[in-house]
A and B are shown apart, each in its own frame.
Chain A
Amino acid sequence: MQMIIANRLLDGRVVFMDDSGGWVNDIADGSLLVSQQDAAEQLTAAQQAVEENEVVDPYLIDVSADGGRRRPVQVRERIRAFGPSVGLVPQGHGGV
């Protein structure tokens, strides 16, 4: 299975394309593409979103959905989907 991932132009945040051709922050809300044809069609739509200055650099990623939870296959895409593995904000130095 595949999904379309991209960065939103305005703030650079990671987004996924959903069933209606919009862009969502949560991988759970994105469109899961089963067939090659669906993937190709949505990639074309994503390229259109680039033309329309919504996102930059969209591409297809492989996703597994064991137990209903979507998980990108590649570690790089998992980090993009779920954030840095070292925590979003460092705990900071003690005493502050």
Chain B
Amino acid sequence: MYRYDEFDHKLVAERARQFRRQVKRRLSGELTEDQFKPLRLMNGLYMQLHAYMLRVNVPYGSLSSRQLRKFAHIARTYDRDFGHFTTRQNIQFNWIKLEEVPDILEELAEVEVTAIQSSGNCVRNITSDHYAGRARDELADPRVYCELLRQYTILNPDFSYLPRKFKIALTGSPRDRAAVALHDIGLRMHRNEAGEIGFEVLVGGGQGRTPFIAHTIRDWLAPEHLLSYVESILRVYNMYGRRDNMHKARIKIIVNQMGIDRYRELVEADWEQIKDSVLKVPQAEVDRINAYFAPPEYECLADIPDELNDVRARIPEFDQWMAANVAEHRVPGYSIVNLSLKAPGLPPGDMTADTMDAVADLADRYSLDEIRVNHRQNLSFVDVRQRDLFTLWKELKLLDLATPNIQSVSDIICCPGLDYCNLANSRSIPVAQDLSRHFVDVDHLALVGDFTINISGCMNACGHHHVGNIGILGVNKRGKEYFQLTLGGSSDENAALGDRLGRALPQGQVPAAVETIVDTYLAIRLDGERFLDTYRRVGIEPFREAVYSPVQARAVA
């Protein structure tokens, strides 16, 4: 588990004190709202529809049970008893009072958590594979390099006033669970021909109103050059990024306007100047940080497939959960368990303070004290002994956290939408609730298989609608909420943007339309095909026809 060093402690404590003074100056009128806004945003504090919202970083998605208990305490003491896990492995508190924020930041600092750079035109919270350090297919733990980048970019004046926000994601596995191709910079670990581990560097991906899949700017980068190469990408962005129009200010716009080849030329030319400078990463530093992420001491166990299969054969519900929510661990005798925050009818990603405490207790008992947050707004226990799986399942069922729907139709990504967000133009949570209540038959979920539905309440795409197998975008037409569907999106290692299905639908017609799409897929899929495979084989027409044919239109009207 990562821990702060003495610099972090000092920096975070000073930052909390600094913000206390800034809040005082704002409340006394010494600072105007225009002057204060960039200061509060750099500390993760937004003004939303009903109150201030505080976004707190969960670095690389890793939490200790002590940190989760602190979130429960914050929710209970300063908010309305709940928090919302986001698509960037963060947690948001929705009902915060400005005058209490300095106290909250100090409380968070006690458990080595901050809200620094969770907003603003800077390098945001760096995200990673939520299975990092545990996945069986992983080359190396990517969080070491996340941390190296964080230490270099945090409060770095060169990167504090970028043209626009900047998001970096890393994965150490060939299976991309971190959506790296949808980031300003994505880093994918792989081996070169000599067998050495390095990074494929991607640049210019992103969602929002102008979505792009990132381009590969460099096939393989030695880890010792990570900081200098990222610096060069940022320097070129700082030089050429547009500051006159916020909608055209992201790096994706520049990369796609000048073309990846030209952008690469500029970066490589800059990099030649600095690659062997002080930015070259000493192995000793990597080793030092690596020690912070050292795996826990595992017991010497063996996998127990026979015993588990025996229980699975007797208890179908446990079998469904094992199949959907449990993943392989790199250490024999252990498994990764995903906790579904998508029980039917609940707002995706929301968790009450009491449930946070209960999950922290379970993590202590069953997961070596660690919890992960993933970008699909679920949690994971990454170190569960296989012999504890059945007991843990029963405990999670009591908390409604064992819905066997990970990566299925009802495991929906959903932004807060117009119920909370100042930018949204339609509600997204009620659509997710409708769909999760619609798809409750777990046998049907298993039959449909691997499927993602992502919902955003506006074109800013916090709900990742562009890369959902079914994407749902809320739009406002003459004061009324409508929903635009896209098909075929994906955020994995073969990332793709969805294609627009047809005219937008009123909320009441969305569940029937989704069901029609699912049924059409089931009717035409070939053996072993996921929805995405079928879609890529047949294209959009069969689905468009099914949803918008006159008979269907009458049925859903």
* Residues of A bordering B, CB below 8 Å: 7, 9-14, 50, 52-53, 56-57, 73-76, 79-80, 83-86, 88-96
Contacts of B358 in A (CB 8 A): 96
Given A12-B51, A85-B427, A94-B399, 13 more A-B residue pairs with CB atoms under 8 Å apart are A10-B99, A12-B98, A14-B50, A53-B28, A75-B418, A75-B427, A84-B429, A90-B347, A93-B400, A95-B398, A96-B352, A96-B358, A96-B399
Q: State the CA gap A56–B346 with chains docked (Å).
A: 32
User: Which residues of the other chain, A, contact B425 by a CB distance below 8 angstroms?
Assistant: 76
Complex-state Cα separation, A93 to B400, whole angstroms: 5
Complex interface bits, B26-57 against A, C-beta within 8 A gives 1, otherwise 0: 11110001000000000000011111100000
Pair B350/A84 contact, Cβ less than 8 Å: no
Bound Cα distance from A10 to B350, whole angstroms: 25
Assembly CA distance A35 to B156 (angstroms) = 53
Partner of A50, one of B26, B33, B81, B480: B33
Complex Cα gap A19–B116 (Å):
41
Determine the residue in chain B with the shortest Cβ distance to A14.
B50
A84/B99 in contact, CB under 8 A: no
Contact A11:B97 (CB < 8 A) given known A53-B27, A80-B49: yes
In the complex, are the beta carbons of B418 and A76 less than 8 A apart?
yes
Contact residues in B for A52 (Cβ distance below 8 Å): 29
- Within the assembled complex, what's the spacing in Å between the Cα atoms of A89 and B347? 10
Closest 5 CB pairs of A and B: A93-B400, A84-B419, A92-B352, A11-B97, A12-B51
Structural contact, A10 and B27, CB atoms closer than 8 A: yes
Distance in Å: Cβ of B272 to nearest Cβ of chain A = 48
Once A75-B479, A80-B50, A96-B352 are accepted as A-B contacts, the answer to whether A9 and B98 lie under 8 Å apart by CB is yes
A93 to B419, CA, bound (A): 20
Q: Type the 1/0 row for B415-449, where 1 means its CB is closer than 8 Å to any CB of A.
A: 00011100001110110010000000000000000
Which residue of B48, B82, B433 is within 8 Å of A89 (Cβ)?
Answer: B82
Is the Cβ of A85 less than 8 Å from the Cβ of B400? no
Which residues of B, 340-389, contact A by the 8 Å Cβ criterion?
A: 343, 346-347, 350-352, 354-355, 358
Other-chain contact of A92, B96, B98, B354 (Cβ < 8 Å): B354
- Known pairs A12-B96, A79-B49, A83-B50; A93 contacts B80 (CB<8 A): no
Query: For chain B residues 92-129, which have a beta carbon within 8 Å of chain A?
Result: 96-99
Are B355 and A75 neighbours in the complex by a CB distance under 8 Å? no
Residues in A neighbouring B399, C-beta threshold 8 A? 93-96
> With A80-B50, A90-B350 given, is the CB distance from A85 to B419 under 8 Å?
yes
Q: Is the CB of B80 within 8 A of A86?
A: no
A40 to B98, CA, bound (A): 29
Q: Which of A50, A80, A86, A95 neighbours the largest number of chain B CB atoms within 10 Å of its CB?
A: A86
Task: Say whether B355 contacts A92, CB under 8 Å.
Answer: yes
Cα separation A72 to B419 with both chains bound (whole Å): 15
Closest beta carbon of chain B to A17's beta carbon, Å: 17
> Which residues on B sit within 8 Å (CB–CB) of A88?
80
Q: Closest Cβ of chain B: how far from A75's Cβ, in Å? A: 7
Q: How far is the CA of A46 from the CA of B350 in the complex (A)?
A: 35
Give chain B residues whose Cβ lies under 8 Å from the Cβ of A95: 398-400
What separation, in Å, do the CA atoms of A3 and B96 have in the docked complex?
25
B414 to chain A, nearest CB (A): 11
Distance of A86 Cα from B414 Cα, bound (Å): 13
Q: Which residues of chain A come closer than 8 Å to B352, judged between CB atoms?
A: 89-90, 92-93, 96
Q: How far is the CA of A29 from the CA of B323 in the complex (A)?
A: 55
Considering only CB atoms, which chain B residue lies closest to A94 in the complex? B400
> CA–CA, A5 to B138, complex, Å?
52
Verify A12–B52 contact, CB threshold 8 A: yes
Q: Are A85 and B430 in contact (CB under 8 A)?
A: yes
**Given contact pairs A12-B97, A76-B418, A79-B419, A90 touches B49 in the complex (Cβ within 8 A):** no
Chain A residues with CB under 8 Å of B481's CB are 75
**Residues from chain B with Cβ under 8 Å of A93 in the complex:** 343, 346, 351-352, 355, 399-401
- Identity of the chain A residue whose Cβ is nearest the Cβ of B31 in the assembled complex: A53
A84 in contact with B420 (CB, 8 Å):
yes
Most chain A C-beta atoms within 10 Å of own C-beta, residue among B33, B49, B426: B49
A11-B100 Cα distance, complex, nearest whole Å:
9
A90 near B398: Cβ-Cβ < 8 Å: no
Chain A positions within 8 Å of B99 at CB level? 10-11
Given A12-B51, A96-B354, A91-B346 contact (CB < 8 Å): yes
> By the criterion CB–CB under 8 Å, are B420 and A89 in contact?
no
CB-defined contacts of A73 to chain B, threshold 8 Å: 479
- Could you name 25 residue pairs across A and B whose Cβ atoms are closer than 8 Å? A7-B51, A9-B98, A10-B27, A10-B97, A11-B97, A11-B99, A12-B97, A12-B98, A14-B49, A53-B27, A53-B29, A75-B479, A76-B418, A79-B49, A86-B347, A86-B419, A86-B433, A89-B82, A90-B350, A92-B355, A93-B343, A93-B399, A93-B401, A95-B399, A95-B400
